[in-house]
Amino acid sequence: MKERHVIGLSGGKDSAALAVYMAMHPDYRNLELQYFFSDTGKELPEVYEFLTKLEGVLNTKIIRLGEERFSEEQNPFDHYLKQYGYFLPSPQTRWCTRKLKLDPFKNWIKPWLADGDKIIQYVAIRADEIDREGLWNTNPNIVTKLPFREHGVTKEMVIDILVSYNLGLPKYYEWRSRSGCSFCFFQQKIEWVNLKEKHPDRFEEAKRYEKTAIEHASPFTWSQGESLEELEKPERVTQIKIDFARRIERERSNRKVNPLRAGLEEYEDIDELYFEDEGGGACLVCHK
């Protein structure tokens, strides 16, 4: 029986900071840590870029799960979309996380569990995330640990870790708060507008998926209450941008300046602006 230590990376800031923190911390650095990333094949290019940078800092390879299912003709997302009758995933039916993120992990650890190995998974829930819970597993051979919570690591400290190891924040933070699929339904309206501007091809792809879904009577659009075709209309885009600018203004006027963090105060999290818990209730495996 062996003990296996694993950290799931989402391409987001918290899991990346946890990986760096554990690789450097005397309590963990002698563990044989394995880093993995479940790839849906629909991730933002910035996610891959950030993971490559992270591999440089960790000086090790991040195991990419799910890649073996990619083919020239079909991406796993397309495969499951068809199985789900072309209904788009949504917060109510999150088949995407189950099929594209969790199942590859379960398949990866299956042989270890069959051998009776114990798996310790480290999850990047921070000390300042009081109500956040991890994915608790009922298998007694899988143990979840929360090093950030145990050591009192907060969001500010996470950013400091990333900055001090020259990783910085993933580039998509300039226009979106969350990692994961380019068309993730947890996006805010402004993030859809930004996706259209930053990655027009990805926006068009999301529109195509949505159009097919609507033709197959899917009750869900990517963004609540309107289709992407409606959202991209110039007058609607202008309105979304005005609303967002007002939010930023409001947030800035309420912000207390911390003189010890000059320079980092400009960091603004889109989720915070919408008074959302980070990830808006989204799964940790995609967005942490």
Interface residues toward ligand SF4, by CB under 6 A: 40, 89, 94, 96-97, 100-101, 180-181, 184, 186, 282-283, 286
CA distance 199 to 180: 14
* CB nearer to ligand SF4: pick between 53 and 94: 94
As measured in angstroms, the least distance from the Cβ of 140 to ligand SF4 is 27
Closest among 136, 142, 68, 67 to 112, alpha carbons compared: 142
Which residues, in sequence order, are bridge partners of residue 8?
36
Cβ of 210: how many Cβ atoms within 10 Å? 20
Contacts of 129-134 with CB under 8 Å at 24 or more apart are: 129/277, 129/278, 131/277, 132/277, 132/284, 134/284
Residue nearest to ligand SF4 (CB): 180
* CB nearer to ligand SF4: pick between 5 and 202: 202
As measured in angstroms, the least distance from the Cβ of 97 to ligand SF4 is 5
* CB nearer to ligand SF4: pick between 104 and 147: 104
As measured in angstroms, the least distance from the Cβ of 88 to ligand SF4 is 9
* CB nearer to ligand SF4: pick between 31 and 214: 214
As measured in angstroms, the least distance from the Cβ of 101 to ligand SF4 is 5
Closest among 85, 77, 84, 18 to 43, alpha carbons compared: 77
**Do strands 142-145 and 63-65 pair parallel, antiparallel, or not at all (unpaired)?**
unpaired
CA distance 134 to 285: 9
As measured in angstroms, the least distance from the Cβ of 285 to ligand SF4 is 7
3-state SS class at 197: helix
Contact yes or no for 17/124 (Cβ under 8 A) = yes
DSSP 278: G
* CB nearer to ligand SF4: pick between 181 and 190: 181
CA distance 20 to 15: 9
* CB nearer to ligand SF4: pick between 102 and 153: 102
As measured in angstroms, the least distance from the Cβ of 113 to ligand SF4 is 23
As measured in angstroms, the least distance from the Cβ of 179 to ligand SF4 is 7
Spatial CB neighbours of 78, under 8 Å, sequence gap ≥ 6: none
Closest among 124, 182, 154 to 261, alpha carbons compared: 154
* CB nearer to ligand SF4: pick between 54 and 100: 100
